[in-house]
Chain A
């Protein structure tokens, strides 16, 4: 990786500093036997771990099982051993999840894991997901609205090539005579517009779900 990228990868950022502070507190709490800290760990890291497990396993249901197993292993370890770099808890958890996923791939039929940690057993899902009330059909409708709202054919072409045909960015830029920056800008704006459409859709669902007083 080029040096400039390495610098960017490790660049300072406030959210990361906050994460490290929280991670240290969670690790210390679990080591001291605080159930609340275990709950915090499950709440904070479940969703992200599940995303990367799904990415590796390709099966949402199975990923949920593996997430529980990963959290179980992590909490057991953190209860009994000191973590060398507690501020790197996220990396530690990722490592466990990857190993669990790899093992699961090796032996497809696994013994059921005995869970005696209430916080882990309570993990039914990875936490609230964005636009979870928006159906696939509504997502498709949102895509149509997005495409219809893009006045420049080249921009719509960009989305089609990138997301449907999986063309490389460089190839698209060359064929559509776009700069890399322009490409990023079109994608960024399209996503922002798509997010807004989905948010409106999601909001409509939430409003209609609200109980009548």
Chain B
């Protein structure tokens, strides 16, 4: 098996995932036995795989630095207690990691390393009580909520509860990521102390217009 075939057919990863045919395994291993560079690639792929699993599955720290948001998102949604008990999970954090696709202009994002990441999972209910969250003052927040089934595209809008229909922030054409979750990033200045509502609209398969899915009330207080 030559290196070109190995690279173009992702043989190393497929070997580790158990996806090769018997013939491919034989050819691959015959080379693996002597090819040091290939062994290095296998080592690297194993480390990457194990590292990603370790980070995304077991990181339980409540606060972590830039880059950790991705980890926490998956961790939260992987915990059955959260998934079963809550009608949605709402988390707030500051990071540049998840925000690239959420900025309307795409040019006002914080740079890597500027911001600490803080994420606060809040469990909302189907009751009329607003979700309460405390956020420290910082530049960006990310709201995470689960994406209801049956929709292919989502739009999230945030407005103050007392300000009628004035939309403070809106994010369109969102696709669910990370275990059917949605991440809505916005500048932190939008979420000052006060009562808000996040309006979630969705497009069903084949639909051209959005329909209202739910309105999620939440209250923001500044941390000390």
In the assembled complex, how far is the CB of residue B185 from the closest CB belonging to chain A, in whole angstroms? Answer: 10
Q: How far is the CA of A8 from the CA of B31 in the complex (A)?
A: 14
Q: How far is the CA of A49 from the CA of B27 in the complex (A)?
A: 14
Any B CB within 8 A of the CB of A169: yes
Could you tell me if B178 and A90 are in contact, using CB atoms closer than 8 angstroms? no
A90-B30, A94-B29, A153-B101 as given contacts; A195 in contact with B44, CB under 8 Å: yes
Q: How far is the CA of A188 from the CA of B51 in the complex (A)?
A: 17
In the assembled complex, how far is the CB of residue A44 from the closest CB belonging to chain B, in whole angstroms? Answer: 6
Could you tell me if B10 and A140 are in contact, using CB atoms closer than 8 angstroms? no
Closest to B52 in A: A163
- Which of B10, B21, B32, B59 makes the CB contact (< 8 A) with A184? B10
Any B CB within 8 A of the CB of A1: yes
Kindly specify which of B66-74, B164-172, B198-206, B212-220 makes contact with the partner chain. B66-74
Q: Per-residue 0/1 for B26-42: is the Cβ within 8 Å of any A Cβ (1 yes, 0 no)?
A: 11011111111011111
In the assembled complex, how far is the CB of residue B173 from the closest CB belonging to chain A, in whole angstroms? Answer: 12
Any A CB within 8 A of the CB of B189: no
Could you tell me if B33 and A49 are in contact, using CB atoms closer than 8 angstroms? yes
Q: How far is the CA of A80 from the CA of B41 in the complex (A)?
A: 35
Could you tell me if A191 and B44 are in contact, using CB atoms closer than 8 angstroms? yes
Could you tell me if B49 and A157 are in contact, using CB atoms closer than 8 angstroms? no
Kindly specify which of B1-9, B82-90, B129-137 makes contact with the partner chain. B1-9
Could you tell me if B44 and A1 are in contact, using CB atoms closer than 8 angstroms? no
Could you tell me if B39 and A51 are in contact, using CB atoms closer than 8 angstroms? yes
- Which of B35, B38, B48, B100 makes the CB contact (< 8 A) with A191? B48
Closest to B16 in A: A55
Could you tell me if A156 and B42 are in contact, using CB atoms closer than 8 angstroms? no
Closest to A6 in B: B23
A90-B31, A139-B47, A156-B70 as given contacts; A47 in contact with B36, CB under 8 Å: yes
Any B CB within 8 A of the CB of A28: no
- Which of A16, A157, A159, A190 makes the CB contact (< 8 A) with B177? A157
Which residues of A sit under 8 angstroms from B53, Cβ to Cβ? 163-164
Could you tell me if B13 and A187 are in contact, using CB atoms closer than 8 angstroms? yes
Which residues of B sit under 8 angstroms from A143, Cβ to Cβ? 48, 51-52, 54-55
Could you tell me if B70 and A9 are in contact, using CB atoms closer than 8 angstroms? no
Any B CB within 8 A of the CB of A111: no
Any A CB within 8 A of the CB of B60: no
In the assembled complex, how far is the CB of residue B46 from the closest CB belonging to chain A, in whole angstroms? Answer: 9
Q: Per-residue 0/1 for A159-170: is the Cβ within 8 Å of any B Cβ (1 yes, 0 no)?
A: 110111010010
Any A CB within 8 A of the CB of B50: yes
Q: Per-residue 0/1 for A140-182: is the Cβ within 8 Å of any B Cβ (1 yes, 0 no)?
A: 1011111111011110110110111010010000000000000
Could you tell me if A164 and B74 are in contact, using CB atoms closer than 8 angstroms? yes
Chain B, 139-188, CB within 8 A of any chain A CB? 177-178
Could you tell me if A48 and B10 are in contact, using CB atoms closer than 8 angstroms? no
Could you tell me if B29 and A52 are in contact, using CB atoms closer than 8 angstroms? yes
Could you tell me if B66 and A148 are in contact, using CB atoms closer than 8 angstroms? yes
Could you tell me if B56 and A164 are in contact, using CB atoms closer than 8 angstroms? yes
Which residues of A sit under 8 angstroms from B56, Cβ to Cβ? 160, 164
Closest to B67 in A: A148
Q: How far is the CA of A140 from the CA of B178 in the complex (A)?
A: 19
Closest to B22 in A: A1
Q: Which 5 A-B pairs have the closest CB atoms?
A: A148-B67, A143-B51, A48-B33, A8-B5, A90-B33
Which A residues are closer than 8 A to B by beta carbons?
1, 5, 8-9, 11-13, 15-16, 19, 23, 44-45, 47-49, 51-52, 55, 88, 90-91, 93-94, 129-131, 134, 136, 139-140, 142-149, 151-154, 156-157, 159-160, 162-164, 166, 169, 184, 187-188, 190-191, 194-195, 198
28 A-B pairs with CB atoms under 8 Å apart are: A1-B24, A5-B9, A8-B2, A19-B34, A48-B29, A48-B34, A48-B35, A51-B42, A52-B32, A88-B30, A91-B26, A93-B33, A131-B43, A143-B52, A143-B54, A144-B68, A144-B71, A145-B67, A147-B67, A147-B70, A156-B97, A160-B70, A164-B56, A164-B57, A164-B74, A191-B45, A194-B47, A194-B51
